[in-house]
Amino acid sequence: MARMQLDLASTGQLSPESGSSDALYNLGLMYSTGTEVEPNLVMAHKWFNLAAMKGSEAARSYRAELAQEMSKEEIAEAQRQAREWLANQ
């Protein structure tokens, strides 16, 4: 598993700096499932939101599912973090 994660990172599939919808989507999956990181719905929503903005339909679907499990405050925090990330790109 660690080798796969390393391979993904080396190809940019996990690098948010690449800005690709696939990289952002994969980060959302990691945080939503707790793969190699602690599960964090706020972070997962953030990355799915950014991937959705780049056109990922799967990210839109997962973001909607997550939002049903989150409080309004958590969603607002995820959106704030996404805006902050965009502002720093």
Tell whether the model's pLDDT for residue 58 goes beyond 90: yes
Note down the domain range covering 47: 2-87
Instruction: Over range 48-63, report the average pLDDT.
Output: 95
**What is the Cα Rg of the chain in Å?**
12
> Token match 């502002």: residue?
87
- Residue-wise pLDDT for 23-40, tens only, equals 999 999 999 999 889 999
Q: How confident is the model at residue 7 (pLDDT cuts 50, 70, 90)?
A: very low
User: Model confidence at 77, in pLDDT bands (50, 70, 90)?
Assistant: very high
- Counting the structural domains of the chain, the total is 1
Tell me the C-alpha distance between 84 and 48, whole Å. Answer: 15
| C-alpha count within 13 angstroms, C-beta hemisphere, residue 52 | 17
Q: In the predicted model, what is the mean pLDDT of the chain?
A: 84
DSSP per-residue codes, 19-40: --HHHHHHHHHHHHHTSSS---
